Structure 1
């Protein structure tokens, strides 16, 4: 299984059909009378906004990951990992010399989009880079993020290249990047304790108990397990973290134990309709088209009632989809906005059609 794209394998955002697609709720356990009734449809506003921007702005032409974080001024920061920059040509493709970086941010201020990268406009670089490293060999991908004071805190996952193949890379560490919310300039990178878990798959701030909960993934390729940690809210980089281990909170990151099997490397956890709601791509199936939801009464689970929210129509042939998540800040009491990434196993596809490497935006109505 693949975490996400590299320079030759990225993800997409095309204009999807706008008709509502009813999706029957499907539970992993026996059918229940309380299974939710839902339907899913393309969010036309975001699809049009980012599609037009990618095609015409001459700046950002697509990216994957796509976490969203509300900023203090009311705008929204979209957090991306692998990113194509430059222009889309007259045929809707990307020039072969299109700039490619490993992380970026777009701020959506009332429909006006601004892309932030490192480097310069003519020579863009990733916003966060591993100090002293050749970025073709060692880089950061972004995880989920939160705002503390005037800083946007973004989880970092460090990877190194292990061979010449597109998927020859491995995870080596976690960190937190701090950005000034005024201009998205990088102010610091804080290393986290060594751990086998990819921390930053999802972040949930609990207003009742005063903790920020950070979810992570133990990625065993064919199997992926969700883990849970916490830190007092407002102190992501300054306080000691605790890790959920078989029902107890411990200070040793290597003691962390799984709370759910079958999540993708990126997912979301939010409080929705009175319960903790985890939305993820279905990693219990290889290259699954299913986006599923689990629910629980406690932040640590158990998460049960597996329900299919949507099946991605792009999946098949060279195309696969991944890293679905909900964005509670952009939904409401009866609707979850869900994004997912699309990719091709054929790198040439991503240059022939720029619309292949952009997130999708789906409204799931309950």
Structure 2
């Protein structure tokens, strides 16, 4: 359920200290990148106030962001608590809970979108005919095509009675009307062991939408890469990057980077393709790191620590860090990460734990 992230995470975020990472020796030594970070107070206050006063959304994980045609931002969430919090910022044990939702941020005005009704909310996207306690979708990254918001779906099935007893079984794409976030369709993708949708990168120069995915081996996680002509995520055949070439075999993609979390971001930052991710090279790491490459296919190198999460302690862990290039500028990257607890009761006793965190990371002295 909400603690899904033990198997879906093992990777995380943050550190307010300035970080300097050596660059390979050259004839004239380059200055190392300089990193600083601070809490984004505006978004932190906006979402905390909404969670504690609106009586609708009280916390969630994933937190992808996609710009909509009207200038607003769609925040894509997976496991989501709804309802209200009490005067002590606790959640009632009967709080509604769904596996995916969207908040639209229209210049600071937040609106939560779910399926069902306000009185009986359901996930926005559901596996047809399935009991959501047994089979469900979590959201991946999204993109806009025309008047449709396309969101990657990861299908999971319960395998036992434990909170971590579930497994990945398939990929799909949900389509939503950008005006009201109503679901207009779900398109299944070819069978693959890769969890597609960890990140989406739109390349305006070559006409492709690039979709990154994760091969999740629990303790080891590997990034994979696919592409499809822009505007045809649900209608055209995908190509998969394998051993330096593009092919049509959905089971044949090969690893391009080890150590990413299940969710991450890819953007063009300071002249290079940049991956921001939780550090999955360490078990339940609190580090958020950055890799860079000249080509979208990689190689991605120069691992740089951006931040170390202060929340990580005891039962509390952090996971699935990502940058939001649509909400970043200049040397600054807006980065979010998720917070959870191995003790489920903590999420009811303190509703503030299970919410995304928002930080501004500034990186200087980067060479393109």
Q: TM-score range by the shorter chain?
A: over 0.9
Is 1:341 the equivalent of 2:333? no
Of 201, 205, 209, the match for 1:208? 205
CA distance in structure 2 between the partners assigned to 1:254 and 1:10 by the alignment: 20
Task: Determine helix, strand or coil for the equivalent of 1:22.
Answer: coil
The TM-score with structure 2 as length reference comes to 0.94
1:262 CA displacement: 0.2
Q: What residue is the counterpart of 2:18 in the other structure?
A: 23
Q: What residue is the counterpart of 1:103 in the other structure?
A: 100
1:45-89, Cα deviation, whole Å (9 max, x unpaired) = 000000000000000000000000000000000000000000001
Does the aligned pair in 2 maintain the 1:10–1:63 contact within 8 Å?
no
Does the aligned pair in 2 maintain the 1:10–1:357 contact within 8 Å?
no
CA distance in structure 1 between the partners assigned to 2:301 and 2:153 by the alignment: 29
Runs of 4 or more, structure 1, over 4 Å off, are: 6-11, 27-32
CA distance in structure 1 between the partners assigned to 2:311 and 2:125 by the alignment: 31
Is 1:186 the equivalent of 2:183? yes
1:358 CA displacement: 0.4
Does the aligned pair in 2 maintain the 1:8–1:347 contact within 8 Å?
no
1:36 CA displacement: 1.2
Task: Determine helix, strand or coil for the equivalent of 2:128.
Answer: coil
Is 1:119 the equivalent of 2:144? no
1:333 CA displacement: 1.6
1:195 CA displacement: 0.2
Does the aligned pair in 1 maintain the 2:3–2:342 contact within 8 Å?
no
1:2-37, Cα deviation, whole Å (9 max, x unpaired) = x973499999xxxxxxxx933213469789734311
Does the aligned pair in 2 maintain the 1:7–1:100 contact within 8 Å?
no
Q: What residue is the counterpart of 2:366 in the other structure?
A: none
Does the aligned pair in 1 maintain the 2:21–2:33 contact within 8 Å?
no
- Alpha carbons of structure 1 residues 84 and 208: separation in structure 2 relative to 1, 3 Å: same
Q: What residue is the counterpart of 1:238 in the other structure?
A: 235
Q: What residue is the counterpart of 1:17 in the other structure?
A: none
Of 243, 261, 264, the match for 2:261? 264
Task: Determine helix, strand or coil for the equivalent of 1:53.
Answer: helix
Is 1:153 the equivalent of 2:150? yes
Gapped regions of structure 2 (runs ≥ 5): 10-14, 364-368
Does the aligned pair in 1 maintain the 2:23–2:30 contact within 8 Å?
no
1:316 CA displacement: 1.4
CA distance in structure 1 between the partners assigned to 2:72 and 2:60 by the alignment: 19
Task: Determine helix, strand or coil for the equivalent of 1:356.
Answer: coil
Task: Determine helix, strand or coil for the equivalent of 2:112.
Answer: strand
Q: What residue is the counterpart of 2:293 in the other structure?
A: 296
CA distance in structure 2 between the partners assigned to 1:98 and 1:28 by the alignment: 50
Q: What residue is the counterpart of 1:166 in the other structure?
A: 163
Is 1:51 the equivalent of 2:48? yes
Task: Determine helix, strand or coil for the equivalent of 2:19.
Answer: coil
Task: Determine helix, strand or coil for the equivalent of 2:251.
Answer: helix
CA distance in structure 2 between the partners assigned to 1:212 and 1:117 by the alignment: 27
1:279-317, Cα deviation, whole Å (9 max, x unpaired) = 000000000000000000000000000000000001111
Alignment of 1:6-17 (within 5 A): 6=4
Does the aligned pair in 2 maintain the 1:324–1:340 contact within 8 Å?
yes
1:236-276, Cα deviation, whole Å (9 max, x unpaired) = 00000000000000000111000000000000000001100
Which sits farther off after the overlay, 349-358 or 23-32? 23-32
1:159-204, Cα deviation, whole Å (9 max, x unpaired) = 0000000000000000000000000000000000000000000000
Is 1:88 the equivalent of 2:85? yes
Task: Determine helix, strand or coil for the equivalent of 1:21.
Answer: coil
CA distance in structure 2 between the partners assigned to 1:87 and 1:178 by the alignment: 29
Does the aligned pair in 2 maintain the 1:158–1:173 contact within 8 Å?
yes
Does the aligned pair in 1 maintain the 2:5–2:319 contact within 8 Å?
no
CA distance in structure 2 between the partners assigned to 1:358 and 1:251 by the alignment: 39
Count of residues paired in the alignment = 356
Gapped regions of structure 1 (runs ≥ 5): 12-19
